[in-house]
Amino acid sequence: MKKLIGFLLGILLIFGRLAFAGQPLAALPLGPLPSDAIALGESPATTTCTHPCIAFSFTASTSSYAQGYNFYFGTTSGGESATPVNSALLISLCSGTSCSAIITSPSGTGGVATSSQIAPNATIYATIEACATSAATGNLVCSAPSNEVKCIIPLSSSDIASPTSLAGTPD
């Protein structure tokens, strides 16, 4: 019986996506998930955030090995940092092939990660990589970066302090 189940799972993996409750699994791990991986169900999982923040949307990796995602920011085009914005691999960002994530300023709420680069009137260039843990080495292995997106954080009236101590003298 175990051989038959293994054979059938192998066929499903070779000829199509393995499905659970009618939804394809977005990732089948090559190795164990990193112990610090953040699942949206376990972290702030909201669709809104406090200003300033960036809401990203993207299409899931088609790799069966992808376990999660890392975001990279820079202040110039092509100048993204080699260190991801998120402190741990972000998982469960997708519903089918449609994915989203919110990254806020350190004072913000509602995001899966924070970045001090997110500030009113700032311009940020961002890429994302799909990642998995290698079963052979235990190291995190990531894809090539996605296309780059330019995000300009809007300036809001709440970002500008009002003048105070206005006085007037009649003439």
User: What digits encode the pLDDT tens for the residues 6-16?
Assistant: 333 332 232 33
Q: Is 0.95 topped by the overall pTM?
A: no
- Structural domain boundaries of the chain? 25-155
Q: CA distances (Å), 122 to each of 33, 53, 101, 103, 147, in order?
A: 34, 11, 19, 14, 20
pLDDT at 93 over 60: yes
CATH 2.60.40 assigned to 25-155:
yes
CA angle, corner 37, sides to 98 and 35, nearest 5? 150
pLDDT at 153 over 50: yes
- Tell me what the mean pLDDT of segment 78-83 comes to: 94
Q: Read off the pLDDT band of 48 (50, 70, 90).
A: low
The predicted-structure confidence for 122-145, as pLDDT tens digits, reads as follows: 999 999 999 999 999 999 999 999
